[in-house]
Amino acid sequence: AQSVAQPEDQVNVAEGNPLTVKCTYSVSGNPYLFWYVQYPNRGLQFLLKYITGDNLVKGSYGFEAEFNKSQTSFHLKKPSALVSDSALYFCAVRDSQAGTALIFGKGTTLSVSS
Amino acid sequence: GAGVSQTPSNKVTEKGKYVELRCDPISGHTALYWYRQSLGQGPEFLIYFQGTGAADDSGLPNDRFFAVRPEGSVSTLKIQRTERGDSAVYLCASSLTARASGANVLTFGAGSRLTVL
């Protein structure tokens, strides 16, 4: 079975500081990993994905994530947070070999203060 | 269409009633997914279609829930004898299908908020 854990319900950072939103996963085979963002009253928006290759993945709005196979993690990062980054962030995983659906974590609320 | 369209955006019904939620995917997307999102939770997988057939319906909570996609485009999620616990936002997503279909990005609709009184 596949699963995703986002250990923090909320992350608070000051504008201009770096941010990290944590994610760990569990799959039987090789993972496909995704980050999505959800703004209030709006649908989920794709940020970035890891399929294979370079462990550091760059995505939309200056976000990046690092795949760490030994730690089964895929933490989302940004060097300098903006107030407009405040939103709900979801990590998701899919087993590349099992043909199963994309499974989401419970989400982390990012709050960036000015 | 340009995006994934879901109707209605809001539905209020009484316990025991029947409800249908519609999803119109992006044109050309052969994979279609239904998720349910309760307050404070991540999207919970319900079912996904590859073309007209359900490729995985393991997330449907019980036999009151059913989904169809008869022509491989529009899908309808049907909930019979609704219960208060069914109240949630029901999300639909679609994606292209390719050999590496698991790597395809899902594009989500805005959701249908269901409230069962």
Residue A42 has pLDDT above 90, yes or no: no
Torsion of CA B34, B78, B76, B12, to 10 degrees: -90
State the average pLDDT over residues B63-71. 96
At B101, the pLDDT band (50, 70, 90 cuts) reads: low
Q: Considering chain B, what is the average pLDDT of its residues?
A: 92
**Residue B23 predicted with pLDDT over 90:** yes
Rounded to the nearest angstrom, the minimum Cα separation between A111 and chain B is: 15
Smallest Cβ–Cβ distance between B103 and the set A44, A51, A106 belongs to A51
Say if residue B99's pLDDT is above 60: no
For range A5-13, the mean pLDDT: 97
Q: What's chain A's average pLDDT?
A: 93
More confident residue, A101 or A27: A27
Write down the pLDDT at residue B55. Answer: 86
Query: Which residues of A fall within a CB distance of 8 Å from B4?
Result: 43
- Amino acid B97: pLDDT: 74
B104 interfaces chain A, CB cutoff of 8 Å: no
A23, A105 contact by CB (below 8 A):
yes
Inter-residue long-range contacts of B64-67, CB under 8 Å, 24+ positions, other chains counted:
B67/B34
